[in-house]
Chain A
Amino acid sequence: MNDTAINTKDNNTDTTQDLVTSGSRSWAKLKRNKAALVGGLFLLIYIGCAFGAPLLFKGNPSAPDLFNSLRPPCAEHWLGTDELGRSILGRILYGARISLMIAVGVVGVGLLIGVPVGLISGYYGGKTDFVIQRFTDMFLAFPGFLLALALVAILGVGLKNTVISIGISMIPLYVRLVRGCVLTVREEVYVEAARASGTKDHYIIIRHILPNVLAPITVHTSLSMGTAILFAAGLGFLGIGVQPPTPEWGSMLGSARAYMMGTPHVATFPGVAIFFAVLSFNLLGDGLRDAFDPRSKI
């Protein structure tokens, strides 16, 4: 009995060591992927804007100044002003905070609920797996955005409800992904050994299985953040997301639509901001996927 326990411990140490080795190999691969680096750079700029918004822009981004409305880019307002005379630069910088907050919140909801449910579903299998997967199928039957839209209609508008709605729409994807990975990992010898040695299920799930499914979760999280920003912008565009006068990129774009003909800059800059934020997460996510994939050679 004792021998088995020692063996399991050794095995565990090996696994950790393997993880460290594969981690550094992945990091080396990621560094060689130029697209991922560009994505990372955009992401750093984006996060910098989100955190540094009050330093980069003095003043209230929500306070209207009607006599300066729809001004083109100039020295005073680098990206011009919107229909209420508010600086578009200021609103994009503060909007970065909102988008980042939504992205983090959404993947937070997805991770906190989706990952444990996926782990349980994959690890225990049987009836538990069947019930969880049928629920997941039900949610997956709806396109993600439609599901988020329906949930907003039920929960009501606002930042918190936007995060919850999009977050819930992300859960089934996490559940399905994690379950798939767990199904492979749970058959590994070290898991079998741990189980044979009487290690408790929750310990096995947390210590042996979770670390081995972290790579796909990381990739999916990065890609989900981009999707979350896009979904939130979509809800904002339709006027049922974050409420005015909060500077949210999607609602900025939605309001600007009416001014496209005469003053296209009002719609262009929020659109560009959404584009680069989503692009940064997608490039980085793609890079991470390649880096974690043992078959890829970059």
Chain B
Amino acid sequence: MRKNGRFRFFRQFFTIAVTAAMLVFLSVPGTFAGQIKELKIAIGVDADTLNPQEQTTTLFQNICDLIFDGMYFQDPQGKLHPRLLEKHTISDDGLTWTLHIRKGVKFSDGLPLNADVIKQTWDRVLNPKLRVPLRFAISMVKGCEKVDDHTVKLNMKYPFAPFDATISMALVSPISPAAIEKYGDDVRQHPVGAGPYKLKEWVKGDRIVLARNENYWGKAPTVDQLTFKIVPEATTREAMLRTGQIDVCYKPLPSNVASLKKLSNVTVDMPLDTRTIFMGLNCLKGATTNKKVRQAFNYAIDKKAIVNRILFNTAQPMDGPVSPKVFGYAKMDYQYDYNPEKAKQLLKEAKFDFSKTINMRTPNGRYLFDKQVAEVVQAQLQAIGVKVELRTYDWPTYVAGLLKPIEETELEVFLLGWGPLFLDADMALYGQFTSEVNPPKGLGSSFYTNAAYDEIMKESRKAQDPNKRFDLLKEASSIIWEDCPWIWLHVEKFVLAYSSNIKGMVVTPTEKFYPNHITME
């Protein structure tokens, strides 16, 4: 009898305890089934700034997107989704863009996002006194005017058809005016935006922690906290993923991708990137001014072997002058397949001076196995009788060399990468090959100059009809493909490895990933 009484007491106590625990669990705000407390992401470097207007590195533009949200979001297929903007309208002449701002949006500090804030953002981006390294991307905007509380008007210097994709960049994401007032330039250390997350903690050289923004206007993220852990060595990042210390490994080494793919607890996503890697050939000075020489160099390089053997298939040989991921890409009718005999023949026809040594330069460690790729190109050019001397440079010195005008430039053959920041061919075809972007004005370091080409590209910017625009971009691509201002090498892939129990990770061709709505099994 006494035994039964004790049993009953324990049963009642257990029932009450479980019920109380469940009530406590359910009463915690925002904590519900499927909610993930923390996602640990290992990245290679720390951020210099988290001011979206100042940021040039894709990884930190990615973090800015999470803190600030964009005007639009361009999905991996290139489709634009409204975010801080609901829609836009364009005048017939293409010189006025009217932006309709989403109503009811608040910054994480509670301030409302309205037309005044958007105007202030454009004024800041266009203000030459402020440091905005990517200002060239919106250089077609003359100014911004407020129409009403939720509408602004942008006046353009010239029509620019892919402008809607352009404003999906973090470059024009609004910062809370209160934060700007409070911190001034130092807002780069204290970012306050209207995105799904807000900055919780930033320990320099160690971690950046983002917490869910309770004021977010959109669908609440499924992950409460994103911890970006700074781990410079890629092999260490990989080891941490293998052992479960982190959930996401940013850019593992291509040489280890195959072994990571074999692991049952790891998923490797590697969408094709927008970034093309090429060997620029100086079209105005030196040994590569002759088109036949440039074509010969293209035939001399075994791009497929480079992709297979050096890059472990984390890239794809170029078959057109832009990445297949961007609007305006078209596979070219003929390819420069590896053909050393044809290359020799073309050099002969061009009366190439084999006694001269060509200078080749490459950065070391900026792009995937850049030095190794350059070494192969050097060896394969030497195999057709061309004398080549290769030099490696650190990145700042290298970039300084790219910006010198034709009178001063020492560039002959140089390895470089070019990755459009949104999925459109304009940034590559206009930003690299029109005479307008020849250094020092731009980064078209091949000094390609062709008036007919310039005309087509200008026409393409005016064309509002996507079909017409596509045809123009294709025509421009064909011209450039034949003229070979580059040795067309490969299109990189963006490699992201993460725990296989993560589902729903959005990985884009612009080297960004969004874990906002993932689920974990």
Contact = CB atoms under 8 A, between A and B. Distances in A.
Interface of A: 62-64, 66-67, 69, 83-85, 157-158, 239-240, 243-245, 255, 257-262
Contacts of B308: 66
Contacts of B302: 66
B131 interface: no
Contacts of A84: 310, 372, 375-376, 379
Interface in B370-404: 371-372, 374-376, 378-379, 390-394
Contact of A67 (B253, B309, B379): B309
A135 to B, nearest CB: 29
11 contacts: A63-B379, A64-B376, A69-B309, A85-B309, A240-B392, A240-B394, A258-B253, A258-B254, A260-B235, A261-B238, A262-B255
B392 A244 contact: yes
A245 B255 contact: no
B375 A244 contact: yes
A221 B302 CA distance: 47
B184 interface: no
Given A67-B305, A157-B392, A239-B365, A259 B255 contact: yes
Contact of A244 (B305, B390, B393): B390
B266 to A, nearest CB: 14
The 3 closest A-B pairs by CB, nearest first: A239-B364, A66-B309, A66-B305
Contacts of B309: 66-67, 69, 85
B467 interface: no
B215 to A, nearest CB: 44
Contact of B390 (A63, A243, A259): A243
Contact of A157 (B258, B372, B374, B391): B391
Chain B contact residues: helix, strand, loop or mixed: helix
Contacts of A261: 235, 238, 253, 255-256, 259
B390 A62 contact: no
A239 B397 CA distance: 14
Given A66-B305, A239-B364, A245-B375, A258 B255 contact: yes
Contacts, number: 70
B208 to A, nearest CB: 26
Given A84-B376, A262-B258, 12 more contacts: A64-B375, A83-B369, A84-B372, A84-B375, A84-B379, A244-B375, A244-B390, A245-B390, A257-B235, A261-B238, A261-B259, A262-B255
A69 B305 CA distance: 11
B255 A244 contact: no
B386 to A, nearest CB: 15
Nearest to B239: A261
B392 A62 contact: no
A255 B370 CA distance: 11
Contacts of A255: 371-372
Contacts of B306: 66
A260 B305 CA distance: 22
Interface of B: 234-235, 238, 253-256, 258-259, 302, 305-306, 308-310, 364-365, 369, 371-372, 374-376, 378-379, 390-394
Interface of A (DSSP majority class): loop
B256 A262 contact: yes
Nearest to B309: A66
A239 B372 CA distance: 12
Contacts of A258: 234, 253-255, 369
A239 B392 CA distance: 7
Contact of A83 (B238, B310, B364): B310
A62 B234 CA distance: 27
B7 to A, nearest CB: 58
Nearest to A261: B256
Residue in A67, A85, A239, A259 whose Cβ sees the most chain B Cβ within 10 Å: A239
A20 B372 CA distance: 54
Most chain A beta-carbon contacts within 10 A, residue among B309, B371, B374: B309
Best-buried of A62, A66, A259 by chain B (most CB within 10 Å): A66
A157 B391 CA distance: 8
Given A66-B302, A69-B309, A261-B259, A243 B391 contact: yes
B255 to A, nearest CB: 5
A249 B292 CA distance: 38
A243 B392 CA distance: 7
Indicate the member of A259, A260, A261 with the most B CB atoms within 10 Å: A261
A92 B310 CA distance: 21
Nearest to A240: B394
Contacts of A260: 235
A150 to B, nearest CB: 13
A126 B521 CA distance: 80
A245 B382 CA distance: 12
| Best-surrounded residue of B371, B378, B393 (most CB of chain A within 10 A) | B371
A79 B467 CA distance: 57
Nearest to B393: A157
A84 B378 CA distance: 12
Contacts of A157: 391-393
A122 B159 CA distance: 77
B213 to A, nearest CB: 38
A284 B238 CA distance: 42
B256 A66 contact: no
A244 B259 contact: no
A84 to B, nearest CB: 6
A157 B309 CA distance: 28
Contacts of B390: 243-245
A84 B376 CA distance: 8
Nearest to B233: A257
A84 B371 CA distance: 11
A92 to B, nearest CB: 17
A261 B260 CA distance: 11
Contacts of A259: 255
